[in-house]
Amino acid sequence: MSDQPHPQDRTRVLIPAERIQARIVELAREIRADLGDGPLTCIGVLKGSFIFMADLVRALDGPVRCEFLGVSSYHGGTRSTGVVRITEDLSHPIEGHHCLLVEDIVDTGLTLDYLRHFLEGRKPASVHTVCLLDKPGRREVEVAPDYVGFTIPDEFVVGYGLDLGEFYRNLPYIAVYSP
């Protein structure tokens, strides 16, 4: 696989930008309705969630703190390796905080399951999870996000923060990638 997109690579829009933005506003309302209007620490899983998290925190009313975790399980390919490793840890303690783990996509479930346990070990008041995309057809562990933007079929997607070899993150929509 090349480090750069090939001119013959194709993408097909799966979820348009307008639908994504409308759903984020709905998710923010659902989250605040359930979790209240108190302080919330949003923890973005880098790199894929950064665009989703930026839009989500702007849509959330009330006090919001932002933290990030660097996590790797793909290493440039189109399938998860199944091995989750932390590449960047939180910069501040979360003990006693109400936390919202923000994921771009839940695929095998291994990363979400690992991170839930990882964060619970830091003794927060609560850990809830939100993902932009849920791909339940690829689950390897039984895990369900608390809030889901869209459920999608088992296709490799790019855009809106999701990448292939660090490319395509800048697309304003979610697209199915075809080499």
Distance CA 166, CA 79 (A): 14
Q: What is the 3-state secondary structure (H, E, C) of the chain?
A: CCCCCCCCCEEEEEECHHHHHHHHHHHHHHHHHHHCCCCEEEEEEECCCHHHHHHHHHHCCCCEEEEEEEEECCCCCCCCCCCCEEEECCCCCCCCCEEEEEEEEECCCHHHHHHHHHHHCCCCCEEEEEEEEECHHHCCCCCCCCEEEEECCCCCEEECCECECCECCCCCCEEEEEC
Predicted confidence (pLDDT) per residue in 100-137, tens digit: 999 999 999 999 999 999 999 999 999 999 999 999 99
Read off the amino acid at residue 95: E
Confidence of residue 178 (pLDDT cuts 50, 70, 90): confident
CATH number of 10-178: 3.40.50.2020
Rounded to 5 degrees, what angle do the CA atoms 87, 89, 94 make?
155
Active site residues: 107
pLDDT digits (tens, 9 = 90+) for 142-162: 999 999 999 999 999 999 999
Which residue matches tokens 């925190």?
57
- Whether the Cβ atoms of residue 37 and residue 62 lie closer than 8 Å to each other: yes
pLDDT at 48: 94
**pTM confidence score:** 0.90
Q: Identify the band that residue 4 occupies on the pLDDT scale cut at 50, 70 and 90.
A: low
On whether the CB atoms of residues 56 and 24 are closer than 8 A, the answer is yes
pLDDT of residue 1: 47
Residues 6+ apart with CB under 8 A from 81: 73, 74, 75
- For 54-88, write each residue's pLDDT tens digit: 999 999 999 999 999 998 875 555 555 667 889 99
Burial label for 19, CB within 10 Å (0-12, 13-18, 19+), is middle
